Structure 1
Amino acid sequence: MTTRTDEGRGPAMPLTPDTSILVSIVEDHPLYRMALARVVDGLPGCTLGAVAGSVEEFLAYRTRPGGVVLLDLHLPGRQGPAAALAVTEAGHRPLVVSAQAGQADVLAVLAAGARGYLTKSAEEREIAAAVRQVADGGTYVSPTLAGFLLDSARPRQAGPRLALTPREREVLGLLAEGERDVDIARALGISVRTVRSHLDRIREKTGQRRRSELTRLAIGEGISSRLRVTV
Structure 2
Amino acid sequence: MSEQPRIRVSVIEDHPLYRSAVARVLAEAADIELGTVADSVPRFAAAREPAGTVVVLDLKLRGVTDSAAVQKVVEMGHKVLIVSAHAGQEEVLGAISAGARGYLSKDADGADILRAVREIAAGNTYVSPALASFLLNSTRGVKSLLSDRERQVLSLVAAGERDSDIAEAMSISVRTVRSYLERIRDKTGRRRRPDLTRLAIEEGIS
State TM-score, norm by structure 1.
0.61
Is 1:76 matched with 2:67? no
CA distance in 2 between partners of 1:92 and 1:104 (Å): 23
Aligned runs of 1:105-124 on 2, under 5 Å? 105-124=91-110
Which residue of structure 1 aligns with residue 165 of structure 2? none
From 27, 46, 49, the counterpart of 1:63: 49
CA distance in 2 between partners of 1:80 and 1:131 (Å): 20
Which residue of structure 2 aligns with residue 132 of structure 1? 118
Identity %: 50
Q: For structure 1, list consecutive stretches of 5 or more residues without a partner in the other structure.
A: 1-16, 153-216
Q: Secondary structure, in 3 states, of the residue corresponding to 1:47?
A: strand
Is 1:98 matched with 2:98? no
Q: CA deviation at 1:19?
A: 1.1
Which residue of structure 1 aligns with residue 145 of structure 2? 227
> Relative to total residues, which structure has the larger helix share, 1 or 2?
2
CA distance in 2 between partners of 1:81 and 1:18 (Å): 33
Q: For structure 2, list consecutive stretches of 5 or more residues without a partner in the other structure.
A: 147-183, 188-206
Q: Secondary structure, in 3 states, of the residue corresponding to 1:88?
A: helix
CA distance in 2 between partners of 1:227 and 1:53 (Å): 28
Q: Secondary structure, in 3 states, of the residue corresponding to 2:36?
A: strand
Is 1:149 matched with 2:142? no
Q: CA deviation at 1:44?
A: 2.2
Aligned runs of 1:43-58 on 2, under 5 Å? 43-58=29-44
Q: CA deviation at 1:124?
A: 1.1
How many residue pairs were aligned?
A: 147
Aligned runs of 1:190-229 on 2, under 5 Å? 217=139, 219=140, 225-228=143-146
CA contact (8 A) 2:92 2:134 kept: no
From 8, 15, 26, the counterpart of 1:29: 15
Q: Secondary structure, in 3 states, of the residue corresponding to 2:9?
A: strand
CA distance in 2 between partners of 1:225 and 1:147 (Å): 13
Q: What code does the residue aligned with 2:145 have?
A: L
Q: What code does the residue aligned with 1:87 have?
A: V
Aligned runs of 1:166-177 on 2, under 5 Å? none
Per-residue CA shift, 1:120-148, capped at 9, x if unaligned? 01011111110000001111001221233
RMSD of the TM alignment (CA)? 1.7
Q: What code does the residue aligned with 1:225 have?
A: K
Q: Structure 1: which 4+ aligned runs deviate by more than 3 Å? A: none
Q: CA deviation at 1:80?
A: 0.5
Which residue of structure 2 aligns with residue 175 of structure 1? none
